[in-house]
Structure 1
Amino acid sequence: MNSSNPRALATKTMLLILSQIITTFSATSFASSAPDKTGYSTKYKQFDAPSERVPKYFSMEKIVVNFRGEGKAKFLAIDLEFMSYYPQIVETEMEHLRPILKNNIDRLLRNQFYSQLHTPNGPDRLREEILQVARKTLERHQLFPDLLEDVYLERFVMQ
């Protein structure tokens, strides 16, 4: 292309302008969800990183539901302990979400089958499903779901 050609010059100018627009658009569109100093997206509520990694727990006790016991059991009873290294998550945020968490976990438990839970890995599979339900609930409320590390079954009874 000859730079003295007006058409070639106009094309180069347009490409340069488009390139700058795309660069600017990309930078601003991802800025709102870029990780901050804590390492997770700023679209979530931000918490200061804990000064030391000491696990903190949120208890949900005495959850009892009718479930699909397949004639062998009628009730499923569990006690849960959710663990996070961020005290704000378990001491404040999850407490505010307790009714929502209870509802969502109850719904999950009512749809469990005795034959699936009575296997050697049944309780572990249930733990993972409960953790996913809790993380989805946190995320719907602008809390970074991975700040919730794990959930433990303190009681697991099918009767």
Structure 2
Amino acid sequence: MQGENLRNILKKILSASELQEGIAWHRRNYDANSIIIKQGDLGQTLFFIEKGVLRVAGKVELDDRRQIQPGVCDLESGSIFGEICLHRSQTRMATVTAATDVKLLEIDGESLSSYLDANPIQGYLFYKELFGTMIKRLDVANHRVESLMAWGLKVHDIDKYL
């Protein structure tokens, strides 16, 4: 099952007495179509999906100042998002909306970061899984960029000059 390693690592980490539920992390339920985070907002938390599907979308401004929100990806149970806020407050990079009813763990980034610093073995295991997730996302993004570039070259008839 996708995210099973991360789920097990987080379960162990969040059971530590230093990370009390209701203080360092919360369980959240959202109905389908609810906005979880909005691009541009300041965030301090990261999320783990216990159940459900989320849609990640960015905002793009076209030449004539129209804006569109292209879908970036869907995230399923076992996925983490908002990890940019792990070490400090950061601006959210995308809007995340519930595609189905979802159950999430919302984790205070600074609390988790401090715990991982004090517990290097669990920190190593957590970051190992997080880096694996980020590498997969980067690979998908690279393929999309390459496909869009090829499409743009073909549409604008530039490929014949290459």
TM-score between both structures, scaled by the size of structure 2:
0.23
TM-score, L = length of structure 1: 0.23
Tell me which of the two structures has the higher relative contact order, counting C-alpha pairs closer than 8 angstroms and 6 or more residues apart. 2
The answer to which structure has the higher helix fraction is 1
**Structure holding more strand per residue:** 2
